[in-house]
Amino acid sequence: MRKKKKLVVLTGAGMSAESGIKTFRDQGGLWEEYDVMEVASIEGWRKNPELVLRFYNERRRQLERVQPNEGHKILAELEKYFDVHIITQNVDNLHERAGSTRVLHLHGELTKARSTVDPSLIYDIGYRDINPGDKCEKGSQLRPHIVWFGEPVPMMDEAVRITTTADIFVIIGTSLIVYPAAGLLAYVPEYVPVYLIDPNVVNLPAGRKVEVIKEKASVGVAILRDKLIGSQGIESLR
């Protein structure tokens, strides 16, 4: 049995938008409802922790109501044929709920809380609220397990390591604006084919050959599946 090729997929907000997850950047998105620095920065947390907790409690309740879309499901199915590693900028758990088994969250996870004095103390909370007064075992207030603007991205080194070993690299639903995640493309070996799935225009680095599939995630991932399976000579998943 031949070794599976490593398919590394970087996903952003556009991956989950079809599931009904509100994004920050789209028209009518969260940036029109909230000042991002009020709810997604350490300064915002220090200024008004109640607002920050309420914001993420709302996001968590919304997440409980939505379902993985067809794009999530196809990526999970591709594990039958490829060694799939998903690096996601999303804080939802839709990849996991669709069946993907190797998911690295760059920006944290909505369904977890962590201590404000010891970042190694991380708790699975599911879809429950975090309230003022909810404390870790060291007696400190719990906060969302989210990487806010200006904070280091602890999983970035692992994401780079995975990216450098890709046989195929795919970008889905991300504007490639938010760093350091946007810089991952620079770590993809030059000989590795790169695909971009996004209905919007994405600024790509000059000189890098990228095959663009200008579709929303569910449609684009289905097209990608057929391209990859055809190129591998594998019987269609359908």
Residue 24 pLDDT more than 60?
no
Q: Which residues does the annotation mark as catalytic? A: 107
* Least trusted range by pLDDT, from 10-24, 28-42, 181-195, 218-232: 28-42
pLDDT for 25 equals 53
- Pairing status of strand 83-88 against strand 211-213: unpaired
pLDDT for 90 equals 95
* Least trusted range by pLDDT, from 52-66, 78-92, 219-233: 219-233
Question: pLDDT band at residue 182, thresholds of 50, 70 and 90?
Answer: confident
Counting beta carbons within 10 angstroms of the beta carbon of residue 219, is it exposed (0 to 12), middle (13 to 18) or buried (19 or more)? middle
What are the respective helix, strand and coil percentages of the chain, to the nearest 5?
35, 20, 45
Tell me yes or no: is domain 1-21+71-107+155-238 CATH 3.40.50.1220: yes
What span, in angstroms and rounded, lies between the C-alpha atoms of 215 and 47? 40
For 77-129, the pLDDT digits (tens) are: 999 999 999 999 999 999 999 999 999 999 999 999 999 999 999 999 999 99
What span, in angstroms and rounded, lies between the C-alpha atoms of 38 and 45? 7
pLDDT for 34 equals 74
Mean of pLDDT over the chain: 89
What span, in angstroms and rounded, lies between the C-alpha atoms of 87 and 35? 26
Backbone angles phi, psi at 213, to 5 degrees: -110, 100
Tell me yes or no: is domain 24-65+112-146 CATH 3.40.50.1980: no
Q: Is 76 within 8 Å of 99 (Cβ atoms)?
A: yes
The DSSP annotation for 63-124 comes to HHH----HHHHHHHHGGGTSEEEEEES--S-HHHHHT-S-EEESSEEEEEEEESS-TT-EEE
| More confidently predicted of 85 and 178 | 85
Residue 4 pLDDT more than 70?
yes
The domain segmentation of the chain, as residue ranges, is: 1-21+71-107+155-238, 24-65+112-146
Residue 235 pLDDT more than 60?
no
Q: Is 156 within 8 Å of 183 (Cβ atoms)?
A: no
